[in-house]
């Protein structure tokens, strides 16, 4: 986990703890919205949820403790539920800052399911 500011890169956490990474992204995004609501801003939040992890991660997915074993879809569903909760936090920050009506929010996905990863790679339908 790194942060860049004024042309300098600072390592914040190495190795990164995947169970807290999404929360750190959401905290940053939420605080960014609250601090910058008075100005036009661009915020890009690239969550890594629902992408498979390295082979040394037995579930091939990750989420924080609050979402672990919380869905019927297993680890993939847990990761998706956590990402959804974080998007909700960012949207709530837009509401709190009274800028949601004047904010364009794009939510995109990449190439769809990775069927070779079975239940860890999404669903085709």
Per-residue pLDDT reduced to its tens digit, 20-56: 888 888 999 999 999 999 999 999 988 776 666 556 6
CA 29 to chain CA centroid, Å, is 10
Residue 49 CB-density burial (10 A; 0-12 exposed, 13-18 middle, 19+ buried): buried
Confidence at residue 114, expressed as pLDDT on a 0 to 100 scale: 64
Closest CA to 107 of 63, 50, 57: 50
**Eight-state DSSP code of residue 101:** G
Q: Is the pTM of this model over 0.85?
A: no
Confidence at residue 88, expressed as pLDDT on a 0 to 100 scale: 95
Note if the bond before 50 is cis, omega within 30 degrees: no
**Eight-state DSSP code of residue 83:** H
Give the Cα separation of 95 and 112 in Å (integer).
30
Contacts of residue 66, defined as CB under 8 A and 6 or more positions apart, other chains included, come to: 82
Confidence at residue 42, expressed as pLDDT on a 0 to 100 scale: 93
Percentage of the chain surpassing pLDDT 90? 34
How many other C-beta atoms are found inside a 10 Å radius of the C-beta of residue 95? 13
């Amino acid at each position: 986990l790194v942060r860049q500011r004024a042309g300098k890169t600072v390592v914040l956490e190495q190795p990164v703890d995947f169970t807290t990474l999404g929360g750190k992204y959401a905290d940053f995004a939420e605080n960014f919205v609250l601090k910058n609501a008075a100005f036009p801003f661009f915020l890009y939040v690239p969550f890594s949820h629902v992408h498979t992890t390295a082979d040394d991660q037995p579930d091939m997915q990750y989420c924080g403790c609050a979402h672990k074993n919380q869905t019927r879809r297993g680890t993939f569903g847990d990761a998706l539920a956590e990402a959804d909760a974080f998007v909700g936090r960012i949207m709530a920050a837009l509401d709190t800052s009274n800028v949601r009506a004047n904010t364009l929010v794009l939510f995109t996905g990449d190439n769809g399911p990775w069927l070779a990863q079975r239940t860890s790679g999404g669903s085709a339908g």
